[in-house]
């Protein structure tokens, strides 16, 4: 069933790990628009993954968090997130199709013929139906990330958090997978962490850079063209501005 996309507001957030004096994030606010990609850049260690892991409920309970996270429908965020990491995290002893059905196994839900059919349809969409019975180690990096994408889609959650999912891929494979993900994740609300300004400008409906120590989120204006964007003069200018801001923050 088609879901109405949901937005998210993060208001005045702060995050500090236990036994660490300085907070990682402080007074961080972001608007995540419904049904678009919000891209998040920032120097290494600025707190991007910590923020995503907090949203996904993956941080230890002794991490100090302040601030509000509000979904546009007023309901809780928990259970409505799928997480796609840089490493594909496929289980090596399970076939491709069984990896796609992994969330059902984790939740102890029965893998009915309908579930298998849905998984096969998704594998078809990512172009991997022919290797459905293969083990992950026999696939290329790009193929493995396409399995991970199918697994993410299988969960059918309104929010997709992606932590550098394309960064280990060669340029052409990365470009293709960005396009495929953008097409298949339409109607989802995506937050993408990336270190690549070109990728961010290509895919973002909204773009933030985490800057400062502790970090806050700085909103960056995007070209008026719609994503996924080709490289043109406007997008090149935004990329240059991002480089400049990142360089300043590394200094």
**Span from 43-51, 67-75, 98-106, 132-140 in contact with ligand ATP (CB under 6 A):** 43-51
Is position 45 an interface residue for ligand ATP (rule: CB under 6 A)?
yes
- Preceding peptide of 130 cis, ω within 30°: no
CB of 162 to ligand ATP, least distance (A): 13
Tokens matching residue 71: 């979904």
CB 18, min distance to ligand ATP, A: 7
Only one residue has tokens 């609300």, namely 189
For position 49 contacting ligand ATP by CB under 6 A, the verdict is yes
User: CA-CA distance, 158 to 234, in Å (whole number)?
Assistant: 31
Per CB under 6 A, does 62 bind ligand ATP?
no
Give yes or no for residue 47 binding ligand ATP (CB under 6 A): yes
User: In the bound complex, what is the minimum distance in angstroms from residue 204's beta carbon to ligand ATP?
Assistant: 17
20 binds ligand ATP (CB under 6 A): yes
- Here the tokens at position 119 are 């998984």
Give the burial class of 68: count Cβ atoms within 10 A of its Cβ; 0-12 exposed, 13-18 middle, 19 or more buried. exposed
Nearer Cβ to ligand ATP, position 58 or 130?
58
Site string for ligand ATP, 206-235 (x = CB under 6 A): ------------------------------
| Extended beta strands in the chain, E state | 8-16, 25-32, 37-42, 64-71, 81-84, 159-163, 189-193, 206-211, 216-220
End-to-end Cα separation, the chain, in angstroms? 49
User: How far apart are the C-alpha atoms of 28 and 7, rounded to whole Å?
Assistant: 17
Q: Among 46, 145, 198, 239, which residue sits at the site for ligand ATP (rule: CB under 6 A)?
A: 46
Nearer to ligand ATP, 10 or 143 (CB): 10
Q: Determine if 48 is a binding residue for ligand ATP (CB under 6 A).
A: yes
Does position 44 bind ligand ATP by CB under 6 A?
A: yes
Would you count residue 127 as binding ligand ATP (CB under 6 A)? no
| 3-state secondary structure at position 50 | helix
Can you tell me the distance from the alpha carbon of 73 to that of 21, in angstroms, rounded to the nearest whole number? 36
Positions in the binding site for ligand ATP (CB under 6 A): 17, 20, 24, 42, 44-50
């Amino acid at each position: 069933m088609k879901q109405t996309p949901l937005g998210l507001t993060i208001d005045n957030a702060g995050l500090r790990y236990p036994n660490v004096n300085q907070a990682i994030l402080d007074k961080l606010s972001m608007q995540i628009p419904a049904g678009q990609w919000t891209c998040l850049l920032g120097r290494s260690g600025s707190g991007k993954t910590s923020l995503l892991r907090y949203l996904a409920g993956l941080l230890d309970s002794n991490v100090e968090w302040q601030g509000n996270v509000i979904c546009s429908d007023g309901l809780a965020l928990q259970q409505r997130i799928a997480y796609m990491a840089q490493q594909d995290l496929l289980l090596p002893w399970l076939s491709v199709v069984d990896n796609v059905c992994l969330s059902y196994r984790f939740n102890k839900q029965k893998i009915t013929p309908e579930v298998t059919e849905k998984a096969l349809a998704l594998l078809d969409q990512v172009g991997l139906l022919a290797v459905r019975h293969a083990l992950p180690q026999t696939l290329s990096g790009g193929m493995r990330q396409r399995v991970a994408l199918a697994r993410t889609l299988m969960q059918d959650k309104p929010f997709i958090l992606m932590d550098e999912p394309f960064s280990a891929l060669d340029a052409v494979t990365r470009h293709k997978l960005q396009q495929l993900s953008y097409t298949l994740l339409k109607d989802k609300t995506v937050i993408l962490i990336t270190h690549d300004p070109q990728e961010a400008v290509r895919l973002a409906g909204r773009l933030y850079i985490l800057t400062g120590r502790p970090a806050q989120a700085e909103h960056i204006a995007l070209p008026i063209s719609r994503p996924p964007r080709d490289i043109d003069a406007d997008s090149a200018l935004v990329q240059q501005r991002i480089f400049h801001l990142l360089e300043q923050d590394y200094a």
